Amino acid sequence: MDNRTYGYVRVSSKEQNEERQVKALLENGVEERYIFIDKQSGKDTNRPQYQILKNALRCGDTVIIKSLDRFSRSYKDIIEEYADITKRIGANLVILDLPLLDTRQNDDLLKHFINDLVLQILGFVSETERKYIKQRQKEGIEIAKSKGTKFGRKRIEKPSNWNEVISKWKNGEMTGVRAYTELGLKETTFYKLLREERKGK
């Protein structure tokens, strides 16, 4: 069986566009049918398409990714997955933004040593940056709260004619559809306010 070249793409959410990564993989010889895409956080490797890719990998195959953080944002996961792919499975790993980590070129012990060392340094930097970002976000929220900024969803106020309309609705004088229409509310908002009112009693 001939060895295959796979591509892996990850974006953090469904709203983000994966085209830039896909284009880079296609330009580097990966067939579209062998590109696996996850739209999920990189906090760990528990991603459906990534796991399918790993199960498909055989010794001598190659996995190409655009950058290290597409692989994972966790230092521990980066090291473990790198070792799993290149050593346990025996496949090659190519990171386009880091040509030094192209294991197809590593034929001697010194290169393997340098590769592992560089990977550990980069993995550590990647995770440290992620922690710094979270810390900065936390500090920003705390500063905003100290200045009186409120977070969370804005409380929905009841319309001025709420009591009048609800009274008619409860007495069977109008349907629910007519009630939330007259109140100028969406159906979900109407029933949410009703539930909150009942809880408050």
Catalytic positions, please? 12
Angle at 177 between CA 174 and CA 178, to 5 degrees: 45
What pLDDT is recorded for position 102? 81
pLDDT band for 153, please (50, 70, 90 cuts). low
- Pairing of the two strands 62-65 and 5-11: parallel
Q: Please state, in angstroms and as integers, the Cα–Cα distance from residue 30 to each residue in 9, 18, 64, 115, following that order.
A: 12, 15, 8, 23
Is residue 47 within 8 Å of residue 10, measured between CB atoms?
A: yes
Is residue 9 within 8 Å of residue 70, measured between CB atoms?
A: yes
pLDDT band for 114, please (50, 70, 90 cuts). low
| Partners of residue 65 on adjacent β-strands | 8, 95
| Partners of residue 8 on adjacent β-strands | 36, 65
Question: What whole-number percentage of the chain has pLDDT above 90?
Answer: 26
Is residue 85 within 8 Å of residue 93, measured between CB atoms?
A: yes
